[in-house]
A and B are shown apart, each in its own frame.
Chain A
Amino acid sequence: MSIDDILFLLKGTLVTVEISIIGLIGGVFVGFIMGLGQVSRNILINTVARVYSAFFRSIPIMTWLFLIFFGIPLFTGLTVPLLVSIGMAFTLWAGAYMSEIVKAGIEAVPDNQWKASKSLGMNYIQQMYYVILPQIVKIVLPPATGFFVGLIKDTSTAYILACRELLRAGRLVGQRTTLFFPVLLMVAAIYFIICYPLSLYTQRLERKRRIN
């Protein structure tokens, strides 16, 4: 294994990190809106948000990758870069999981907070912005980082669309050097190095929350 091979793996790592961050930012954005939708009292918005969440969570990411990869050119006639369709799939999919986390967070805020803020004459948006949301950050953070670890791991499914992320890079280097075992172990080690600190951080956040 030469230095080039290791650089190639690192380049793959970069793509993996890129997809993860796109998925995280997009997922938080979509999840936040859909989470608010899930606790909304408007029946239409509520139903749409709930169906969205159930729909995206009941179909594996592998299928979403293919659906979006083939669906974008079919419906819009555009050819988009591979990373865009992968990013979109992860955004929508992560958004569904995030929306559940956000929903659970909002529901965990005691009812008194709603009543108290209402008695101060706040409207719905003010209640959300000044009272509820600052409180849910603490509640949402542990499951959200836990989900992010899962997301990083799941970006390896982009392998199937021939995206040059870490696993595909590992496979290619393995083929070139015929050293599959050590190369794949290295790939696993890179994933572990990225994920394990985040897992530990999640555990710490959870412990802290339990003490509070």
Chain B
Amino acid sequence: MGLITGLKILLLSKYMPNFIQGTLVTLQMAIIIMCVGTMIGTVGALVKISQNHFFRALISIYVELFRNTPCLVQMFIIYFGFPSIGINFDPYAAALIALTINCGAYSTEVMRAGIQSVNVQQIKAAHSLGINKLQTFRYVIFPQAFRAIYFPLTNQFILTTLGTSLAAAIAVEELTYKTMEAGSLSFHEFEAFLIAAIIYLTLAQILTNIFRYFGIFILKIKTLQRRK
């Protein structure tokens, strides 16, 4: 059985451009979502720890709404629902918007938790040293919060990268969709998805390792700076 599967994978080599194209689109989406999602998360977290009740409530509603409904449903509302009120999106844009605001909601929560994990005593101590709010954030809260945020956030990034596969449901030509295409054209669906699985596995492992070593790298530099 293994041999036959292997042979069928060779048959699929004709569809290699499919997989390569799909992977590139997946990567492109993932990078855009990570960047914009982080920005949304930063703003959201800063608002959530601010004193303004109205905006804080607004961000809470945003986070709770998007964290408690499936990303796929959000994507469907944007892609199928919005045209009926006169706003049209192409599949790619709809998928990107849904995945980004979803990632933004999760990032907000991760960053807020990270910032609030900094001990209140630290802020009081900074205050008693007479440094202003901005300096307190820059020199006291940020370095500590960054440590708490980095790994959960990068974990979220990997989940987001894998989550781009949801876009296949509205026919965005990313890896999963391209695999469905190759599978149904060649009648070797299982083997096609085996290839997709290997690609996703490789992507996730590469990303995990990049984030891990990058994290160790920057966090170490921070420790050295602190020791000086």
Question: Using Cβ atoms and an 8 Å threshold, which residues of chain A touch B82?
Answer: 181
Within the complex, the shortest CB–CB distance from A168 to chain B, in Å, comes to 10
- Tell me, yes or no, whether B190 is within 8 Å of chain A by CB: yes
Q: Which residues of chain A are near B185, meaning CB under 8 Å? A: none
The answer to whether residues A179 and B84 also contact, given A67-B190, A74-B190, A191-B70 and a CB cut-off of 8 A, is yes
Point out the residues of chain A lying under 8 angstroms from B68, CB to CB. Answer: 149, 153, 191-192, 195-196, 199
A199/B168 contact (C-beta < 8 A), A185-B77, A187-B73 known: no
Contact pick for B77, options A57, A67, A188, A196, CB 8 Å: A188
Asked whether, in the complex, the Cβ of B200 is within 8 Å of the Cβ of A154, the reply is: no
Alpha-carbon gap, A134 to B162, bound state (A) = 34
User: In the complex, what residue of chain A is closest to B203 when comparing beta carbons?
Assistant: A58
Complex contact B201–A59 (CB within 8 A): yes
Q: Does A160 contact B (CB under 8 A)?
A: yes
Query: A62 in the interface, Cβ–Cβ < 8 Å?
Result: yes
Inter-chain contact A181/B201, CB cutoff 8 Å: no
Contact across chains for B190 and A71 when beta carbons are under 8 A apart: yes
**Cβ–Cβ contact A180 & B1, under 8 A:** no
Q: Which residues of A contact B190 (CB under 8 A)?
A: 67, 70-71, 74
Q: Which residues of B sit under 8 angstroms from A74, Cβ to Cβ?
A: 190
Which residues in B have their C-beta under 8 angstroms from that of A191?
Answer: 68-70, 73
A55 touches B201 (CB 8 A): yes
Mask: chain A, 70-83; 1 = CB below 8 Å from B; 0 = not: 11001100000000
Contact B73 A199 (CB under 8 A): no
With A and B bound together, what is the CA distance between A59 and B165 in angstroms?
Answer: 10
Once the chains bind, are B166 and A157 in contact (CB under 8 Å)?
yes
By the criterion of a CB under 8 Å from any partner CB, how many residues of chain B are at the interface? 40
Q: In whole angstroms, what is the CA distance A23 to B77 when docked?
A: 26
Query: With A74-B190, A188-B74, A195-B68 known to touch, is A60 a contact of B200 (CB < 8 Å)?
Result: yes
Tell me if A184 is interfacial: C-beta within 8 Å of chain B: yes
Query: Which residues of B from 139 to 182 have beta carbons under 8 Å from A?
Result: 162-163, 165-166, 168-169, 176, 179-180
The one of B70, B162, B183 that contacts A58, using a Cβ cutoff of 8 Å: B162
Measured between C-beta atoms, what is the minimum distance from B72 to chain A in Å?
A: 4
Interface residues of A in 87-120 (CB under 8 A from B): none
Contact of B73 among A55, A66, A75, A167 (CB under 8 A): A167
Q: Is A164's CB within 8 Å of the partner chain B? A: no
User: Does A174 touch B at the CB level, under 8 Å?
Assistant: yes
Interchain CB contact under 8 A, B73 and A156? yes
A and B contact pairs by CB, cutoff 8 A, 18 listed: A54-B205, A59-B201, A63-B196, A66-B193, A67-B193, A67-B197, A70-B189, A70-B193, A156-B72, A156-B73, A157-B72, A157-B169, A185-B77, A185-B81, A188-B74, A188-B77, A191-B73, A199-B68
**Ordered nearest first, which 5 A-B pairs have the shortest CB separation?**
A58-B204, A156-B70, A181-B81, A153-B70, A70-B190
* Residues of chain A at the chain B interface (Cβ within 8 Å): 54-55, 57-60, 62-64, 66-67, 70-71, 74-75, 149, 153-154, 156-157, 159-160, 167, 170-171, 174, 178-181, 184-185, 187-188, 191-192, 195-196, 199
